[in-house]
Amino acid sequence: MDRRAQIEARLRAAFAPVALDVVDESAKHRGHAGAAGGAGHFRVRLVSDRFRGRTRLERHRLVHEALAAELGPEIHALALELASPDER
């Protein structure tokens, strides 16, 4: 399973999303010193009921917890767009 698919699988399991889009933007950052070890750049758009009533910081923490094993070795940069269904 590739990195993007692995990230998507973890997020689906953790959040049962209404909508999920994981985009690998690593190609845009080739040669970037921080990504030299092979870790990628990803953008995640995620809509989930789990975000209802939570602050932006709480939402980010939930996603970081779900992806803890990938942060660092697999993910160098992670851009997050997180919303509850009523915010779409």
- In the chain the domains, ranked by start, together with CATH numbers, are 3-87 (3.30.300.90)
Q: Output the pLDDT for position 30.
A: 60
Q: Output the pLDDT for position 10.
A: 96
- To which residue do tokens 């809509």 refer? 47
Q: Output the pLDDT for position 5.
A: 92
Q: Output the pLDDT for position 16.
A: 98
Per-position DSSP letters for the chain, written without gaps between them? --HHHHHHHHHHHHH--SEEEEEE-GGGGTT-GGGTTS-EEEEEEEE-GGGTT--HHHHHHHHHHHTTTTBTTTEEEEEEEEE-GGG-
What pTM value is reported for the model?
Answer: 0.85
- 1-51 confidence digits (pLDDT tens): 688 999 999 999 999 999 999 998 887 656 555 555 556 888 999 999 999
